[in-house]
Chain A
Amino acid sequence: MNLKILWMYHDLMDLYGDKGNAEVLRRRAEKRGITVTLDTCTIGEKVNIDDYDLFFMGGGADREQNLIYDDLLSRKDSILEAMAHGTAFLLICGGYQLFGRYYRDQDGNIVKGLEIFDYYTEATDRSNRCIGNIAIEACIDGDTFMAVGFENHGGQTKGVTTPLGKVLSGHGNMYRSESEGFMNEQVLATYMHGPLLPKNPKIADAILKRALKKRYGEVTLEPLDDTLENCARDVMLKRLNCL
């Protein structure tokens, strides 16, 4: 089997070690004997998103996010085409926000999103910034488990009807909210950095399965030794009184 990953704006949207996610996906696939093509794409580069099994986009600082904005919007048709053909999506923070209807900044300026999903994001004042360690109970493709990460966002994302999980400790989509992220059958979007995947191998494997589904249908991934991963996760779960 072969897995083709497209890492969008790798040079701009890589704020909180999000590149670790790409590394984890690659290594976990390779350990199962799956060959991996990991391509990057930045502003102005031509790419056919539909050629890929997985679309990954991380978060960026405001300045970087403004730089990529026009370029991303110009790719809307290509994104929709890939989505229609079964490409899986992993979107972190800024990537998550930009797939929604809009982002309204602190001064009330509205930045239009890709409008692929109904949720929208509004900036908050400084005192309500969602920052700190977070633990959630995630439910992905029928599997329920605890996941941990670090969140750091001012934007409050509203109108999500199908979140990634339930907040056990931390903020989630909004300041002190109950739900975190957005998910449907193909798209997993979240505010969880850390990076997300090293400490949450179950999420990593769920994403691999979703991506492989595009060309290979339902696949079973042989289990890996996740002792270190689970220890790292449990250190945080214990600290947040979730274990």
Chain B
Amino acid sequence: MSDTRITEAARASFDACLAAADEDAAIELAVGLVARGVSAQDVLLHLVAPAQVRVGERWESGEWTVAQEHAATHVSRRTVDEVASAARGTARPPAGGAGARGRVLVACSDGEWHVLPARILTEVLRLHGFDVRSLGGSVSPQGMLSDVHQNGPDVVALSCTLPWNLPLAYRQIEICRWAGVPVIAGGPGFGPAGTWAYALGADLYAADARGAAEALLQRWPPVLRGESSVQADAVEAYATLVRQRPGLLEHLASALRDVCPDLRGRSGTEQEEGTGFLGRLLDSLAAAVFVDDEGVFTRHLAFVRTYLAARSADSRCLLALVDALTDRLHGSPRALDKLAGGRRFLVGQEDDSGRPG
């Protein structure tokens, strides 16, 4: 991008720091850029954020272990802290209180542990003069409720990376709406162009931290305008799936044993990841039912395919799992509808890449 002075070489160096989990060097590099006059926002948005996206990709593709991903993420997070404090050292934005532009509460949706996007948003908004309170990862509805009433933010910025958290995010959005506080949603969990954010009744959506800052600056204070399109039938169907979860999980696990024994025969963490993935599959289906969009489910299927393929596991077993669920969910037309969508997606994919491999 032309609006930044962060070169490819600097990016490559930063990637190397993350790969080596070298906190000191990463901070030295990033803070050095700020000291040389690159804006802290550019460092956060054009150095740290893209590097972190690559971290996710390297984990997804199997290049990195969970441990490496966590170590790298930790370095990114420490870098955000240090860049922010370096920026505060050079130019002091208005502190909290009357001088501040307004009060923003930044929170991750319930169940959401990808905290880095929320951390970056927090700092970017602070750089723009907002008084920001940050609640961190996986904020419970109770925590959200009491914080909103205690601190009375002008707006709540809700971050969601994984779409299966959407039903939980809905509860948080409802809490804010009832308290009269508008919500700006952000993160890939809310779907392409924030479709699912608006479906849940969010008032604003921003694709990234810069977009969020711009949206808030443009129209301050934000007002309640969102309207949820979540249907009562969908919530009921979702609740049924949640109730049936233990039984469905067992059913899926036995289907998996029959069809893809190679996924079960592993030890330790990989097996835990293996069984965790069944839960995610169910949660994604449930979330798709909740927002009434099969895209939530198919997107997850696409991710799992990549993930399994990268670990040389047979991703064709996904189809068997979808069929196993279809067998069990005859009573729920809404779930069947999403499963059919998932099946179409998987079959289509196989046709596309029908080569043996």
Q: Do A and B bind each other?
A: no
Chain B residues close to A by CB (< 8 Å)? none
Using a CB–CB cutoff of 8 Å, the interface residues on chain A facing chain B are none
